[in-house]
Structure 1
Amino acid sequence: MNRKKLQKLTDSLTKNCKHFSKFEVKCLINLFYNLVGEVTERQSVIIGLDRNAFRNILHMTFGMTDDMIMDRVFRGFDKDNDGCISVTEWVYGLSVFLRGTLEEKMKYCFEVFDLNGDSFISKEEMFHMLKNSLLKQPSEEDPDEGIKDLVEITLKKMSQSEFEAQVFKDPNEFNEV
């Protein structure tokens, strides 16, 4: 990318990006094109980061290992649902993911857990999200039963406003996640 195009893109993204300085946006744009270049070095058109490349970044950078959560984080970044994360989605997604306000992070986390997009987190959705995330302890009890019990205690069916109310009760607990 030539310097003029980079400057124009940096200016454009900085205007709408609340949590990064102009210099940081420029660095994120350069990082994005370096990452995309590694993935698509033989292609002449740069589309964006596909699911596998993004999952690799989540794993290598943030230590994420849960496939379902990595897929949901990818969906949270891929706002236009085209299967690739564009440079714009990359910068805006990282803005919330790394430096978002408590409200922005709550909204993002709710979207990650709301698997069917109906604006509620059901017991089934919570079960699927927790199933692979919790450490399984060796015991005679069915491990799924323990997860079901935890989900039952946690919620029956939770709307976004109820989710936010729970987070506001103890924001420090939310930041540890």
Structure 2
Amino acid sequence: MSEMSAMNRKLIQNLAETLSKQVKRFNKTEAECLIRLFNGLIGDQTERRVGNGLDRGKFRNVLHKTFGMTDDMIMDRVFRAFDKDNDSYVSVKEWIEGLSVFLRGTLDEKIKYCFDVYDLNGDGYISREEMFHMLKNSLIRQPTEEDPDEGIKDLVEITVKKMDRDHDGRLSFADFDKAVREENLLLEAFGTCLPDAKSIQAFEQHAFQEPLEH
């Protein structure tokens, strides 16, 4: 019995009940499965401060292995989007709240989430510099290109032209929101920060299958 599995059934069930009321997307059984999964992930966390939740490394592992994310900068931002209280750990509540948007969010929630991920410095705007950084990171380099940065700068200008509705040279939340509603494909314009349908399905099948009785 590890100390985490001692977080016994009753405790998990109570927590699941509370969290499923707070986070409308998951029912009690699903919340319970997600708590168990969370405990399992923490169980093999090397650091002893397991009380705080999932650390960045563990969380990025999940994003990479389960949801196929590869971009370091974006994974880091997703971690920050989940870690609402900025304590460098994703607590069980943050895990379930984050997954509710990640797996089953409405368009509204996803727009807000993606904007938060892309607003690298948290000032409420996505600047040209931020776009440049993210696109430079996420685009595959062609070895033949003389100066790939030029191509990325052009792409940034095209994006600003298309999405910057108030013409101040950067994207406010309102700009981003409007552009995505008109063209849903722009939701992840600056990098993959949401799972695709296939990995959502695989995750849910794995997470929500009937737990085996011990």
TM-score exceeds 0.5: yes
TM-score normalised by L of structure 2: 0.78
Kindly tell me: are residues 44 and 144 of structure 1, through their superposed partners in 2, closer, same or farther at Cα, counting changes over 3 Å? closer
Structure 1 stretch displaced more, 103-112 or 145-154: 145-154
Contact kept in structure 1, 2:114 and 2:188, CA below 8 Å = no
2:136 equivalent among 113, 131, 142: 131
The equivalent of 2:37 in structure 1 is 31
Structure 2 runs not aligned, ≥5 long: 1-6, 161-168, 193-214
Residues 1:11 and 2:23 are matched in the alignment: no
Shift of 1:3: 1.9
Partners of 2:48 and 2:144 lie apart in 1 by: 51
1:64-79 counterparts in 2 under 5 A?
64-79=69-84
Kindly tell me: are residues 9 and 163 of structure 1, through their superposed partners in 2, closer, same or farther at Cα, counting changes over 3 Å? same
Contact kept in structure 2, 1:58 and 1:70, CA below 8 Å = yes
Identity %: 62
Structure 1 runs not aligned, ≥5 long: none
Structure 1 runs, 4 residues or longer, greater than 4 Å off: none
Residues 1:22 and 2:35 are matched in the alignment: no
Shift of 1:46: 2.7
The equivalent of 1:167 in structure 2 is 180
What is the number of residues matched between the two proteins? 176
The equivalent of 2:115 in structure 1 is 110
Return the letter of the residue paired with 2:154. D
1:81-100 counterparts in 2 under 5 A?
81-100=86-105
1:131-150 counterparts in 2 under 5 A?
131-150=136-155
More RCO (CA 8 Å, sep 6+): 2
TM-score normalised by L of structure 1: 0.93
Kindly tell me: are residues 110 and 37 of structure 1, through their superposed partners in 2, closer, same or farther at Cα, counting changes over 3 Å? same
